[in-house]
């Protein structure tokens, strides 16, 4: 039986409170071998996001980046109901496991926005899995030290960009746009976690005894 994954990424409004909403929604459907089956990359049309302030980078540069995506036909502006209809379709067609790099963050902002990810009951967090496996290896520490990739407190960076570039050093810096981050960075991390025996074993060990243990054995 073929298994599928729904990788979600979001860029959000930025008011420094827990009620921020999704402005840019990206999602892809992949299988275990990182073959792509469907995708969605849209700007959210509802009132709360019309004048969104993205959380990362210089505001003028971010607005310019998104104007260029729209002009190139790489983004459309769609309603929340459009996004939810697409999610319902992929759930019915693929029954995927939901994953995201910081799944708690993305699910929380999607709930604030009315984007319904809760219909995907099988889920796991790429960040947690990466920190428990990839990021504890001596090779990863060597990579971060060689490239001066640290958190503000001086610890090794565990950002998606850092982990993906450790796996594939040819990658450019992450663009911090939702669809592109999911497609070009987080999918690479998922593929590595599934196909590296030590990483897969660590993830299954973490899930042992949990309600997720049975499906994880089948999907990972």
pLDDT tens digit sequence for 132-153:
899 999 999 999 999 999 999 9
pTM, two decimal places: 0.89
The DSSP element (H or E) to which 163 belongs, if any, is helix 160-167
Domain count, the chain: 1
pLDDT tens digit sequence for 21-40:
898 999 999 999 999 999 99
Token pair for 190: 């998922």
Residue 106 domain flag: yes
Residue 198 domain flag: yes
Task: Say how many CA atoms lie within 13 Å of 117 toward its Cβ.
Answer: 27
Domain range for 169 is: 4-214
pLDDT for res 6: 97
What is the spatial distance between Cα 121 and Cα 100, in angstroms, rounded to a whole number? 14
Residue 127 domain flag: yes
pLDDT for res 87: 98
Q: How would residue 107 be classed by pLDDT, with cut points 50, 70 and 90? A: very high
Residue 220 domain flag: no
What is the spatial distance between Cα 166 and Cα 171, in angstroms, rounded to a whole number? 9
pLDDT of residue 18 exceeding 60, the answer is yes
pLDDT tens digit sequence for 147-187:
999 999 999 999 999 999 999 999 999 998 999 999 999 99
Residue 117 belongs to domain with CATH number:
3.30.420.10
């Amino acid at each position: 039986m073929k298994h599928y994954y729904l990788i979600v990424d979001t860029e959000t409004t930025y008011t420094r409170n827990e009620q921020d909403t999704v402005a840019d929604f990206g999602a892809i459907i992949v299988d275990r071998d990182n073959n792509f089956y469907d995708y969605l990359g849209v700007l959210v049309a509802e009132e709360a996001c019309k004048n969104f302030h993205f959380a990362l980078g210089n505001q003028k540069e971010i607005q310019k980046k998104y104007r260029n995506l729209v002009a190139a036909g790489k983004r459309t502006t769609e309603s929340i109901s459009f996004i939810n209809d697409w999610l319902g379709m992929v759930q019915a067609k693929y029954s995927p496991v939901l994953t995201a790099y910081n799944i708690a963050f993305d699910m929380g902002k999607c709930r604030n926005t009315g984007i319904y990810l809760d219909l995907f009951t099988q889920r796991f967090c790429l960040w947690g899995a990466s920190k428990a496996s990839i990021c504890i290896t001596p090779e990863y520490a060597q990579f971060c030290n060689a490239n001066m990739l640290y958190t503000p407190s001086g610890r090794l960076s565990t950002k998606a960009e850092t982990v993906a570039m450790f796996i594939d050093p040819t990658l450019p810096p992450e663009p911090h746009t939702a669809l592109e981050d999911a497609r070009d960075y987080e999918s690479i991390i998922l593929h590595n976690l599934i196909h590296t025996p030590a990483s897969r074993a660590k993830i299954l060990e973490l899930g042992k005894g949990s309600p997720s243990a049975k499906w994880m054995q089948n999907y990972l």
